Amino acid sequence: MVSSRSSTHATRRSGSGAPVTTTLPDEVSNSAAETERAGMHLGERLRAGDVVLLTGELGAGKTTYVRGVAQGAGSKAPVASPTFQLVRLYPGRVQLAHIDLYRVENSRLIRTIRDLSH
């Protein structure tokens, strides 16, 4: 497998309720198993209300990463790309909403999603 790179940005509310955004270091993976393990590590640390934005090229392994995040967050549901559904929900210790914004061109929709997450 060719190595892939993705970037992750996480937002969590501070004690005062203000959002705090953290850019996590870029992750380079050489296999699907490595990508899934990295996602699982993040999923284990998620709390209700956290917002994670994941970016990467097509085929970079974003859905594989999300599969690990879902497992780490306690979901037993099978993870699939939301490309044709736009949103897939995965219940677990925290509910995970996997949203694919690749084809979304409507800035109002993107703002609504952002506002709902805050």
Domain boundaries, the chain: 4-117
What pLDDT, on the 0 to 100 scale, is given for residue 16?
66
Q: Which CATH superfamily is domain 4-117 in?
A: P-loop containing nucleotide triphosphate hydrolases (3.40.50.300)
* Cα separation, 103 vs 84, whole angstroms: 10
Of 28, 31, 29, 24, nearest in space to 10 by CA: 24
pTM, two decimals, is 0.74
Write the pLDDT tens digit of every residue in 12-35.
666 666 666 777 777 778 899 999
Q: Which class for 90: exposed (0-12), middle (13-18), buried (19 or more C-beta within 10 A)?
A: buried
Q: In the predicted model, is pLDDT for residue 93 greater than 80?
A: yes
Residue 2 pLDDT level (bands cut at 50, 70, 90): very low
Maximum CA extent, the chain = 44
What pLDDT, on the 0 to 100 scale, is given for residue 1?
36
